[in-house]
A and B are shown apart, each in its own frame.
Chain A
Amino acid sequence: MPALILTLLKLIFVALLFLFVWQISRAITGHLGIGVNRVPTRRSKELVLIRGDDVSGERFKVEDVLVLGRSPQADIVINDPYASEFHMRFVSGDEGLVLHDLGSTNGTYVNGRRVTAPQVLVKGDAVQVGKTVLEVR
């Protein structure tokens, strides 16, 4: 077999391998979530548990309403002795993400200040209940 043909075949083989992997890598970006969030979302809707007795780093998406508290019926159940059964409510609406304290015993703090009325949250705000801290993403 002439060496030229073999060289040609080898180059075709490697080129086909590249084509194969390239095609897959193009399709994969969607799977990894790259390019999905290209459009900047104006409003933050996501909460991340920064510190708590349970899972740190757990994310919660506020689609409509989320209630946080010690009760097993709450949407976000936290195991924190300072939290009330139903401690606070996150509402995602036209104004953005709004925090309502549900008359909790020990209060809710946003960036270190106690919440006295419903408060609009922005990205980066730290919401604290007892030892538990959530961050708005």
Chain B
Amino acid sequence: MSRSAEAAFLLGASSLASFGVAMANLAGGGGIDAQVALTFLVFLIAFGSLHLALRQWAPRANLFLLPLVAVLTAVGLTMVYRLDPGRAGLQRWWLLIAAGLAVGILFAVRSTGLEPLRRYRYLLLLGALVLLLLPLLPTDWSIPLRGKTVNGSRLWIEFVAGPIGIQFQPGEIAKLLLVVFLASYLAERHAVLASGTRTIGRLRLVEPRQLVPILVAWTASFGVLIYQRDLGASLLLFAVFLTLLYMSTGRAAYLLIGTGMFTVGAFVAWQAFSHVERRVIAWLRPFSDFDGAGYQIAQGLFAMGSGSLAGSGVGLGRPELIPFAQTDFLFAAIGEELGLAGAVVVLCAYALLAAVGFGIAIRSRDMFRKLLAAGLTFVLGLQTFLIIGGVVRILPLTGITLPFMSYGGSSLVSNMVLIAVLARLSHEEPA
């Protein structure tokens, strides 16, 4: 496959997006209007500029990243438009902003490569912490940058410039910075962390001092769970750390210990905190409290069930009955209106994206780049798994967006930046 084939795929995905919007219009009794053309145009500008940026500044970058992202975004925008045309309009703006930022990153690292990310790791860690704390800014002060509470979570900042107010979740970007930090830190320290000498039979044990970082990560992730009440972020943080530790040292003992610690922590959290307990009950018995805690999950199940094999058709189901269908429960809306067929094709696209990412990690030339590629791919894959798993009820529900598909600017921006870094990593592979 060549770069030109990539361009053809991107054109195809743009057409699919406008096709989807047109279908939603037709189902609602409307016709082919400006929205259809606008969607096509926005996709073309966003992905076209990314494509040109790759040609210009990272010509050896992987060819499959952008097409897969584009097709996921196309299906996502179709469903968001169908659920809430106004928000789809905003989402198109976010797509342009996200693509612009990704292009900016490719431009910024065009000659330095990703080396600065390794060198300034503590600065990046500090940046991540500042971003995580930003939402705690006062909500009512006069500076145009304020904290904001949305749906009971203090995870937002609001930037006000005249009549325009932009809301953003800085934690999404902090997540990426944390992965960069961990990759850089472990690339240097993995030898020490893997050098335990005690053995019992065939099992190589870990020295007690090597457990310190894992304890820190465990404490931090449960801190997030308890004080921010953010189950998803907590799980993501711990899992990413554990996986990178395992990937860099090749020690299964870390996975075993980490999983054990997680199980204990999860059990204690379930017993001790009512908000965790509610989630677990809604997961195990959504119909026992249908009008309360189980309502969202139960509606999602009904939606996917009524979608059956081929779905009701875009605009012909009732996915608006599911609370937060355009963000957390977008996958249920896809299951209802595009059926199992549509849901499966979306899953395939995510699986291929993960495969591409791990392929990049395997072929990267040094430990830092390997860990960075694998860590970023893992973050993307785990988010997808957590939220889809929550919607189809194989996991307790965690409030995480579906990458590239859910409505939400912060998530789209951070995931697009992630793709730009992956693309750059694949460009830096040894030939």
CB atoms of B71 and A20 under 8 A apart: yes
Query: For residues 1 through 22 of chain A, which have their beta carbon under 8 Å from a beta carbon of chain B?
Result: 1, 5-7, 9-11, 13-14, 16-18, 20-21
CB atoms of A10 and B313 under 8 A apart: yes
- Chain B residue with the shortest CB-CB distance to A22: B348
Residues 96-122 of chain A, each 1 if its beta carbon lies under 8 Å from chain B, else 0: 000000000000000000000000000
Indicate which residue in B313, B339, B352 contacts A28 across the interface (CB closer than 8 Å): B352
- Chain B residue with the shortest CB-CB distance to A28: B64
Return chain A residues, CB-CB under 8 Å to B13. Answer: 20
CB atoms of A21 and B27 under 8 A apart: no
Return chain A residues, CB-CB under 8 Å to B339. Answer: 14
CB atoms of A17 and B191 under 8 A apart: no
CB atoms of A28 and B355 under 8 A apart: yes
Number of B residues contacting the other chain (C-beta, 8 Å)? 44
In the assembled complex, how far is the CB of residue B19 from the closest CB belonging to chain A, in whole angstroms?
6
Alpha-carbon separation in the docked complex, A5 to B75 (Å): 20
Alpha-carbon separation in the docked complex, A14 to B315 (Å): 14
In the assembled complex, how far is the CB of residue A111 from the closest CB belonging to chain B, in whole angstroms?
19
Residues 343-373 of chain B, each 1 if its beta carbon lies under 8 Å from chain A, else 0: 0010011001001100100100001000000
CB atoms of B342 and A14 under 8 A apart: yes
Alpha-carbon separation in the docked complex, A5 to B314 (Å): 12
- Chain A residue with the shortest CB-CB distance to B26: A1
Indicate which residue in A6, A7, A21, A27 contacts B71 across the interface (CB closer than 8 Å): A21
Return chain B residues, CB-CB under 8 Å to A28. Answer: 64, 352, 355-356
Return chain B residues, CB-CB under 8 Å to A53. Answer: 191, 195
Alpha-carbon separation in the docked complex, A55 to B370 (Å): 13
Return chain A residues, CB-CB under 8 Å to B194. Answer: 56
A57 interface residue, CB < 8 Å from B? yes
Return chain A residues, CB-CB under 8 Å to B396. Answer: none
CB atoms of A31 and B71 under 8 A apart: no
Majority SS at the chain A contact face: helix
Once A20-B13, A21-B71 are accepted as A-B contacts, the answer to whether A13 and B64 lie under 8 Å apart by CB is no
Once A10-B23, A14-B341 are accepted as A-B contacts, the answer to whether A25 and B348 lie under 8 Å apart by CB is yes
Once A6-B23, A13-B19, A25-B348 are accepted as A-B contacts, the answer to whether A57 and B250 lie under 8 Å apart by CB is yes
CB atoms of A6 and B345 under 8 A apart: no
CB atoms of B310 and A32 under 8 A apart: no
Once A13-B338, A14-B341, A21-B348 are accepted as A-B contacts, the answer to whether A54 and B191 lie under 8 Å apart by CB is yes
B242 interface residue, CB < 8 Å from A? no
A24 interface residue, CB < 8 Å from B? yes
In the assembled complex, how far is the CB of residue B422 from the closest CB belonging to chain A, in whole angstroms?
13
CB atoms of A24 and B67 under 8 A apart: yes
CB atoms of A11 and B16 under 8 A apart: no
B389 interface residue, CB < 8 Å from A? no
A33 interface residue, CB < 8 Å from B? yes
Choose among A24, A54, A57 the residue with the greatest number of B CB atoms under 10 Å from its CB. Answer: A24
In the assembled complex, how far is the CB of residue A75 from the closest CB belonging to chain B, in whole angstroms?
15
Return chain B residues, CB-CB under 8 Å to A20. Answer: 9, 12-13, 16, 67, 71
CB atoms of B16 and A31 under 8 A apart: no
- Chain B residue with the shortest CB-CB distance to A12: B19
- Chain A residue with the shortest CB-CB distance to B248: A55
Alpha-carbon separation in the docked complex, A23 to B1 (Å): 10
CB atoms of A14 and B310 under 8 A apart: yes
CB atoms of A6 and B316 under 8 A apart: yes
CB atoms of B19 and A16 under 8 A apart: yes
Alpha-carbon separation in the docked complex, A23 to B311 (Å): 23
Choose among A7, A14, A23 the residue with the greatest number of B CB atoms under 10 Å from its CB. Answer: A14
Alpha-carbon separation in the docked complex, A25 to B9 (Å): 12
Once A6-B23, A9-B23 are accepted as A-B contacts, the answer to whether A16 and B313 lie under 8 Å apart by CB is no
In the assembled complex, how far is the CB of residue A28 from the closest CB belonging to chain B, in whole angstroms?
6
CB atoms of A24 and B352 under 8 A apart: yes
CB atoms of A16 and B16 under 8 A apart: yes
Return chain B residues, CB-CB under 8 Å to A54. Answer: 191
Residues 47-58 of chain A, each 1 if its beta carbon lies under 8 Å from chain B, else 0: 000000111110
B68 interface residue, CB < 8 Å from A? yes
Q: Across chains A and B, which 4 residue pairs bring their CB atoms closest together, nearest first? A: A10-B313, A27-B1, A17-B345, A1-B26
If A28-B352, A33-B359 are given as contacts, then 13 extra A-B residue pairs at C-beta distance below 8 Å, sorted by A number, are: A9-B313, A10-B23, A10-B313, A13-B16, A20-B12, A20-B71, A24-B68, A24-B352, A28-B64, A31-B64, A53-B191, A53-B195, A56-B194
Q: Which residues of A contact B (CB under 8 A)?
A: 1, 5-7, 9-11, 13-14, 16-18, 20-21, 23-25, 27-28, 31-33, 53-57
30 contacts between A and B (CB under 8 A): A1-B29, A6-B26, A6-B27, A7-B313, A9-B23, A13-B19, A13-B20, A13-B314, A13-B338, A14-B310, A14-B342, A14-B345, A17-B16, A17-B71, A18-B345, A20-B16, A20-B67, A20-B71, A21-B345, A24-B64, A25-B348, A28-B356, A32-B359, A33-B362, A53-B195, A55-B190, A55-B191, A55-B367, A56-B250, A57-B250
